[in-house]
Amino acid sequence: MTPTGWRKSSRSNQTNNCVEVLFTQRESSVRDAKNASGPVLAFSNAAFTAFRDALKRR
């Protein structure tokens, strides 16, 4: 996965509790901004959309 396209989540805060997200045609990925070379969680776009929508309803 290339670093191009990663952006900081709009919900990240100034205390270094940040995640970055990457959206492609096939998947949505999330990583810890403090550890850009660390593990990445990758989801199908449908799964990520369902997750995001469920959070919005909370």
* Domain layout of the chain by residue ranges: 7-56
Of residues 9 and 51, the one with the higher pLDDT is 51
pTM score, whole prediction? 0.74
Question: Measuring CA to CA, how many Å separate 7 from each of 14, 57, 58?
Answer: 15, 24, 24
Q: What is the pLDDT of residue 17?
A: 75
Of residues 44 and 7, the one with the higher pLDDT is 44
Instruction: State the CB neighbour count (10 A cutoff) for residue 38.
Output: 8
* pLDDT surpassing 90 at residue 53: yes
Q: Name, in order, each residue with C-beta under 8 angstroms of 50's C-beta and a sequence gap of 6 or more.
A: none
Over the stretch 11-45, which tens digit does the pLDDT of each residue have?
A: 666 666 788 999 999 999 999 988 989 999 999 99
- Burial-class residue 31 by CB neighbours within 10 Å (0-12, 13-18, 19+): buried
Of residues 46 and 16, the one with the higher pLDDT is 46
